Structure 1
Amino acid sequence: MPNPASTQPKRNKFIASVLAAGVAGAALSAGVLSDTATVNAEPVTVEAPKDNFGFADVVSQVSPAVVSVRVEQQSEPRAEMSGNFENPFGNLPEDHPLRRFFGTPDGRQMPPSMGPRGRDRPSIGQGSGFFISDDGYVVTNNHVVDNGAKYTVVMDDGKEYDAKLIGTDARTDLALLKVDSPNTKFTYVEFGDDNAARVGDWVVAVGNPFGLGGSVTAGIISARGRDIGAGPYDDFLQIDAAVNRGNSGGPAFGLDGKVIGVNTAIFSPSGGNVGIAFAIPASVAKDVVTSLRENGNVQRGWLGVQIGEVSDDIAEAIGLSSAQGAIVTLPDNETPASKAGIETGDVITGVNGETVENPRELARKIANYSPNTKVDITVFRNGESETIPVTLGNLSELDEAASLDAPRSDSSPVDPSALSGYGMTVMPAEDGQGVVVTDVDPDSSAAEKGLEAGDTIVAVNGTSVSTQSDVSKAISTASDNGRRAALFQLRNAQGQNRFVALPIERS
């Protein structure tokens, strides 16, 4: 058996050789830098927290202010069933012993709870919320309390309080409840400054996921200003904390214990957490909640226009230097905009001197003003900018049932004719307002831009049209003015307007 001591020098010698080779290799790779005296830039370094990092201090302070919200929803009488009810056992044979548990007198199958003697039972929904005052005001989501008949607030220690609904705002998905308990001072939290929050900052979500009250998850802000198609005021914080069903209405805290967002939605193909959640920014929630507390609703300014995006093609077609602003597809009848003289085809580029980048920003800017406020609207029209003073209306008084249907005449139809170079066949509209597209070549630029049979061309480059020749003339005028595209104002069968820029075919 070899002496370990005798093998040690050989082993050390081998290790030393390997290390020497590594050092030599490093010297070779760094030799050029040493000879030329090049200095590498310093890498990015971040000082690690000196104390053990965790969220326990934040959670212990804020948890008593976070509640579960239980909602007993208005029940409706069960409709009489028809056909077979699909149950987990499938269609049972006539002689199957379980059939008697699922049968009805006429042989239909249904679970026992829905049998002929079953009673209507109210539906119970659950979400989250948080106190914003010691006298019992609770913030949650509108979709949590929607259609509610009774509201119960459950504390983190299990104690329950009845609550009443103060107000809701469907446009931002916020709601305010009130617990009346005169002899109780509730622990509450306050809204923070989400504008100071950065992508990468920590957030802590506390709530009631899947009915598991008092659950805590942590993550970071992963994006700001998200538009998820929920409404005209979308400006969500995207966070990657684990947020699930039941977290709705709960707070997302910064490390200072202040609420920087109200959890409202998740992105999930399965319905569970996949790491993407959306929170209403504290700056939005604070204003809405204040208005709900004072008025029971939210007072917003109202302009009264239908608007669309300004694409590069549209900007080129109308001579706008860049694709920004919001194009007016239709000023509604008898609205502040129409009364002030804002017209279809105008591009709104500013409000009170502040630039408007897109339709969503315009909606938010107008909503931030109180009703009856006078604002200066900057529009781009016929190649020039002009300012139009408008006195805003009240959005809460908007009659959403206003009809856009135009009266139809009994005039006889006219034979369709081709619109040269655009792959469209058109014919005059029955009411004389525009030309109706009757056919679109699927390989044409018109089809590529989304034109369909049934669309009505109302105007081209701001000029009203009623015949195919009117359309051709307007296109020719745009071409003579050096435009590379013509702006088509279209109206669909539902009376909704949109704008499409089609390239001008040059011979």
Structure 2
Amino acid sequence: MKHAAGLLGFIARFAILGLALAFVVSLLWPTSGEHLRERFGLASTTPSSLPVTTTGAAGPTLSYADAVARAAPSVVNIYANKTVTEQALRMYTDPLMQRLFGGMPAGPAYKRREQSLGSGVIVNADGYVLTNNHVIANADDIQVLLYDGRVAQAKIVGADQETDLAVLKIDANNLPVAHFQPHASVRPGDVVLAIGNPFGLNQTVTMGIVSAIGRQLSSSSPEDFIQTDAAINLGNSGGALIDARGNLVGINTLLIGKAANAEGIGFAIPMDSAKKVLDQIIDTGHVVRGWLGADYAFVPVAADSGLPAAARGVQVSDVYPGGPAASAGIQPHDILLRIGDDDIADPADLRRHEAALKPGSKVDVSGLRNGAPFRLSVTIAQRPSVLPDSSSLDG
């Protein structure tokens, strides 16, 4: 019995000594445990939830510096100068007269120079630059500041008011071109970075996510937008919206600011749309879109509409006199469900479909009129740059 008790005491003292020695070693050499586990091939005890820095296409990342370094050289600053003619006014001293008649001309009109700040993206090694139409509208002199400090004179190749896009051309060598895939998709929640020239600060990067896709800001427009909460400020217009790998996914165009009690609501033109505009402007100097000659609204679902509860399609709200839809016999309140071989999801979807059709081509449109099916053939016209006054519509 004494022998057993002595043995247990010896083991206990040895264990205590070993633990004390291990404690001292861990204080002097904190990574010794990890080295021993690696030496004997044991699994690491590092929690798997800790963030890991990676430069791969998948997985989390702690820095977007590589993405910015890849995309930033193709982003340029645009300085658009124009001459503005103004008339000096002499105001009435009487407040009532001011309210009734405003001011009186005082002397000859005078001219002054006005400069618009914006951004652009080099999308072609031949010197083509994408920017916003509102940045360069009415400009008589456009200067482009490149990433490497060079300054180039730009000329306007063409512009498209529908998408607020414009194409410029500069003559320069060794131009860095943006990386983009026109059909690459972005999803709500994807990280995006906006690069541009806000308030003339040059090459500023802001980060956010894709808030939504397919946004339509005008019911009569065929285009859709990427909505993002990445900060887009004055001067960012025409700049790059890139993904976490540095690929160009959109052209920044506008924001809804604090004046509208909004924060973090900006919009960019998807590269799929921008590439179509770019190619047409380079080829012909302008953009051609198909047009049905009607306005649409969402389908009202009622108990007696004859439509299923999850109805898709559009309801014709107005028809332009003399337009393709009127000539084909489409009437206000018709429900359009299909164009060509494609189902119609909603008004924005139909706008995109008709815009992609070639003027002069024929397309079958089918739907319901007072609950009864109908099918008509429509000859597509070219969408006018300025739509007729809505007061002239039937219905």
What TM bracket, shorter-length normalisation? 0.7 to 0.9
Corresponding residue of 1:95: none
Within 5 Å, give how 1:391-470 maps onto structure 2: 391-396=379-384, 400-401=387-388
Q: Identify which of 209, 213, 228 aligns with 2:202.
A: 213
Deviations 1:56-98 (A, max 9, x none): 112222222100111112422x21302169xxxxxxxxxxxxx
Residue 89 of structure 2: SS of its match in structure 1?
A: coil
Contact (CA 8 Å) 1:75, 1:122: kept in 2 or not?
A: yes
Corresponding residue of 1:329: 317
Q: Identify which of 340, 357, 361 aligns with 1:373.
A: 361
Deviations 1:1-24 (A, max 9, x none): xxxxxxxxxxxxxxxxxxxxxxxx
Q: Distance in 1 between matches of 2:245 and 2:333?
A: 48
Corresponding residue of 1:200: 189
- Using the TM superposition, give the Cα deviation of residue 381 of structure 1 relative to its aligned residue in structure 2, in angstroms: 1.3
User: Runs ≥4 in structure 1, deviation > 6 angstroms?
Assistant: 115-118
Corresponding residue of 1:407: none
Corresponding residue of 2:89: 81
Deviations 1:410-447 (A, max 9, x none): xxxxxxxxxxxxxxxxxxxxxxxxxxxxxxxxxxxxxx
1:349 to 2:357 alignment: no
Corresponding residue of 2:307: 320
Q: TM-score scaled to structure 1, two decimals?
A: 0.60
1:237 to 2:226 alignment: yes
Q: Distance in 2 between matches of 1:53 and 1:364?
A: 38
Q: Distance in 1 between matches of 2:138 and 2:195?
A: 25
Corresponding residue of 2:235: 246
Corresponding residue of 2:73: 64
Contact (CA 8 Å) 1:243, 1:273: kept in 2 or not?
A: no
Residue 196 of structure 1: SS of its match in structure 2?
A: coil
1:146 to 2:137 alignment: yes
Please tell me the residue identity of whatever aligns with 1:82: R
Please tell me the residue identity of whatever aligns with 2:88: E
Please tell me the residue identity of whatever aligns with 1:339: S
Pair 1:300–1:117, CA change in 2 (3 A): closer
Residue 311 of structure 1: SS of its match in structure 2?
A: coil
Corresponding residue of 1:448: none
Deviations 1:122-162 (A, max 9, x none): 21101110100111100001111122222111112332111
Residue 91 of structure 2: SS of its match in structure 1?
A: coil
Residue 75 of structure 1: SS of its match in structure 2?
A: strand
Within 5 Å, give how 1:13-412 maps onto structure 2: 48-51=51-54, 53-76=62-85, 78-83=86-91, 119-181=110-172, 184-193=173-182, 195-229=184-218, 232-270=221-259, 274-313=263-302, 316-322=303-309, 323-396=311-384, 400-401=387-388
Pair 1:47–1:389, CA change in 2 (3 A): farther
Pair 1:399–1:158, CA change in 2 (3 A): closer
Contact (CA 8 Å) 1:374, 1:389: kept in 2 or not?
A: yes
Pair 1:277–1:388, CA change in 2 (3 A): same
Residue 360 of structure 1: SS of its match in structure 2?
A: helix
Contact (CA 8 Å) 2:88, 2:109: kept in 1 or not?
A: no
Q: Distance in 1 between matches of 2:67 and 2:374?
A: 52
Contact (CA 8 Å) 1:244, 1:272: kept in 2 or not?
A: no
Residue 122 of structure 1: SS of its match in structure 2?
A: strand
**Structure 1 gap segments, 5+ residues each:** 1-44, 86-114, 405-493, 499-507
Residue 144 of structure 1: SS of its match in structure 2?
A: helix
Of all paired residues, the percent bearing the same amino acid is 34
Q: TM-score scaled to structure 2, two decimals?
A: 0.76
Corresponding residue of 1:480: none
Corresponding residue of 1:482: none
What's the Cα RMSD here? 2.9
Contact (CA 8 Å) 1:331, 1:342: kept in 2 or not?
A: yes
Residue 148 of structure 1: SS of its match in structure 2?
A: coil
Deviations 1:435-469 (A, max 9, x none): xxxxxxxxxxxxxxxxxxxxxxxxxxxxxxxxxxx
Deviations 1:463-497 (A, max 9, x none): xxxxxxxxxxxxxxxxxxxxxxxxxxxxxxx3556
Contact (CA 8 Å) 1:168, 1:174: kept in 2 or not?
A: yes
Please tell me the residue identity of whatever aligns with 1:359: P
**Structure 2 gap segments, 5+ residues each:** 1-47, 55-60, 94-105
- Using the TM superposition, give the Cα deviation of residue 50 of structure 1 relative to its aligned residue in structure 2, in angstroms: 3.7
Q: Distance in 2 between matches of 1:345 and 1:369?
A: 23
Number of residues paired by the alignment?
331
Q: Distance in 1 between matches of 2:335 and 2:356?
A: 20
Q: Which of 269-278 and 252-261 deviates more?
A: 269-278
Deviations 1:367-417 (A, max 9, x none): 012222221111211322222122211114x6745x67xxxxxxxxxxxxx
